[in-house]
C-alpha cells in the first residue's frame, strides 16, 4: 500500500520548510490540507501543483476512510495543516490512528512547531515541559486547568488566541499569583516576533499597555513552581493535597 506522510509546514516564515518536505509534497499523489485555499498559497510559492483535498475537524472521520482506501490502492498522500506540525492542536489524529490500525505506513517529516519554537528561545527550563495546547474556553474548566499548575514543577506551554490572551493572563495572575514567572511569545518567525518575559503581572501590564501587543499569534509559557528546598516527602504532599480538598 501507499504511505501517509505527515509534513510540517511554516508557522509564518515561508523559508521554514525542509528540502525533504518540498520533495515529498511534489511527489505525492494527493495532499490532504486543513484549508485548501490557505495551503494553495504555500504550494504556489514553491511551484507545487499536487492535487489538494480537505481534511478538517468537521469531516475527518468520513474523509479518513476515503483516504485510507486510496492509500490501500497504493497512492501516496501528504497531510499538512494551516501551519506547523499536523496533529499538534490540529486535525489528523483520526486519520493517523486509523492508518496505524489498518497497517498503512505513516512517515513523519519534522519541521516547525510553535510550542517548540517558543520554548527553545524563552529562557525557561526546558529539561521538562508540559504542552497543554489550548486552555478550555469555559470559565470553570479554565480555572481548574490553571489551578492544576499551582504545584507543577515543569514549564507549561499553551497556545492562545489574540481574543483571549489578555483575559487568560489575567486569570493566571488570579490563580497562580502575580509573581509567577512567565514568557509571552508572539508572531514567531514573523516580522514582529516578540518575546516578553517577566512575572505574570508584568506580562499582563505589557499586554494591556497597547492594543497591538494583543494582536497576532501567541504561545504562553509559565515557569514551573520552584521545588521546595526543605524536602517535603511525597507522603506529606499527598496528605496536604487531601486536606486542601476539604478546605472551603
Ligand atoms: N500545528 C501548529 C504547530 O505545530 O504549532 C499549531 C496549530 S494551532 C491551531 C494554532 C496556534 O498555534 C495559534 O493560535 C498560536 O497559539 C500558535 N501559533 C501558530 N503559529 C504561531 C506563531 N507564528 N507565533 C506564535 N504562535 C503561533
Q: How many CA atoms lie within 13 A of 50 on its CB side?
A: 28
Residue with cell 489574540: 162
Taking 3-state DSSP, the helix, strand and coil percentages for the chain, each rounded to the nearest 5, stand at: 40, 20, 40
Ligand 1 in contact with 90 (CB < 6 A)? yes
Cell of 40: 494553495
Measured distance CA(73)–CA(68) in Å, rounded:
9
Residues across the chain: 248
**DSSP state for residue 214 in the 8-state scheme:** G
Ligand 1 in contact with 188 (CB < 6 A)? yes
Ligand 1 in contact with 85 (CB < 6 A)? yes
Predicted local distance difference test score (pLDDT) of residue 238: 86
**DSSP state for residue 178 in the 8-state scheme:** T
Q: How many CB atoms lie within 10 A of CB 156?
A: 22
> Is 114:188 a contact under the CB 8 Å cutoff?
yes
Ligand 1 in contact with 81 (CB < 6 A)? yes
Question: How far is ligand 1, taken at its centre, from the CA of residue 238, in Å?
Answer: 36
- Listed residue (80, 4, 5, 6) closest to 36, CA to CA: 80
User: Which whole-number Å values give the CA distances from 28 to 13, 21, 109, 120, in the listed order?
Assistant: 24, 11, 13, 32
Residue of 114, 132, 184, 219 to mutate, ligand 1, most atoms within 8 A of C-beta = 114
Ligand 1 in contact with 194 (CB < 6 A)? no
Identify the three-state secondary structure at position 171: helix
ipTM computed for the complex: 0.99
User: Which whole-number Å values give the CA distances from 224 to 9, 148, 227, 238, in the listed order?
Assistant: 30, 11, 8, 19
Measured distance CA(90)–CA(113) in Å, rounded:
11
Ligand 1 in contact with 16 (CB < 6 A)? no
- List per-residue pLDDT tens for the chain, 248 residues long: 999 999 999 999 999 999 999 999 999 999 999 999 999 999 999 999 999 999 999 999 999 999 999 999 999 999 999 999 999 999 999 999 999 999 999 999 999 999 999 999 999 999 999 999 999 999 999 999 999 999 999 999 999 999 999 999 999 999 999 999 999 999 999 999 999 999 999 999 999 999 999 999 999 999 999 876 566 778 888 888 888 888 87
CA angle at 113 for the pair 173 and 10, rounded to the nearest 5°: 125
Question: How far is ligand 1, taken at its centre, from the CA of residue 11, in Å?
Answer: 7
Question: How far is ligand 1, taken at its centre, from the CA of residue 209, in Å?
Answer: 23
Measured distance CA(124)–CA(131) in Å, rounded:
14
Cell of 200: 505574570
Identify the three-state secondary structure at position 55: coil
Ligand 1 in contact with 218 (CB < 6 A)? yes
Measured distance CA(75)–CA(1) in Å, rounded:
7
- Listed residue (166, 200, 171) closest to 183, CA to CA: 200
Ligand 1 in contact with 83 (CB < 6 A)? yes
Amino acid at each position: 500500500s501507499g504511505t501517509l506522510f505527515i509534513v510540517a509546514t511554516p508557522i509564518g516564515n515561508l523559508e521554514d520548510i525542509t528540502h525533504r518536505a518540498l520533495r515529498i509534497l511534489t511527489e505525492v499523489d494527493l495532499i490532504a490540507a486543513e484549508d485548501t485555499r490557505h495551503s494553495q498559497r504555500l504550494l504556489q510559492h514553491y511551484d507545487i501543483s499536487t492535487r489538494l483535498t480537505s481534511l478538517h475537524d468537521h469531516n475527518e472521520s468520513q474523509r479518513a476512510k476515503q483516504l485510507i482506501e486510496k492509500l490501500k490502492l497504493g497512492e501516496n498522500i501528504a497531510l499538512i495543516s494551516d501551519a506547523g506540525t499536523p496533529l499538534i492542536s490540529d486535525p489528523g489524529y483520526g486519520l493517523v490512528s486509523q492508518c496505524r490500525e489498518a497497517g498503512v505506513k505513516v512517515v513523519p517529516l519534522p519541521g516547525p512547531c510553535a510550542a517548540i519554537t517558543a520554548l527553545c528561545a524563552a529562557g525557561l527550563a526546558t529539561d521538562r515541559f508540559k504542552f497543554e495546547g489550548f486552555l478550555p474556553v469555559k470559565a470553570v474548566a479554565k480555572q481548574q486547568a490553571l489551578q492544576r499548575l499551582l504545584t507543577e514543577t515543569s514549564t507549561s506551554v499553551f497556545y492562545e488566541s489574540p481574543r483571549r490572551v489578555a483575559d487568560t493572563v489575567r486569570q493566571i495572575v488570579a490563580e497562580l499569583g502575580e509573581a509567577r514567572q512567565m514568557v509571552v511569545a508572539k508572531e514567531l518567525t514573523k516580522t514582529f516576533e516578540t518575546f516578553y518575559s517577566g512575572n505574570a503581572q508584568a506580562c499582563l501590564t505589557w499586554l494591556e499597555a497597547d492594543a497591538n501587543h494583543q494582536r497576532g499569534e501567541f504561545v504562553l509559557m509559565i515557569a514551573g513552581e520552584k521545588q521546595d528546598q526543605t524536602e517535603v516527602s511525597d507522603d506529606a504532599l499527598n496528605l496536604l493535597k487531601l486536606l486542601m480538598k476539604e478546605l472551603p
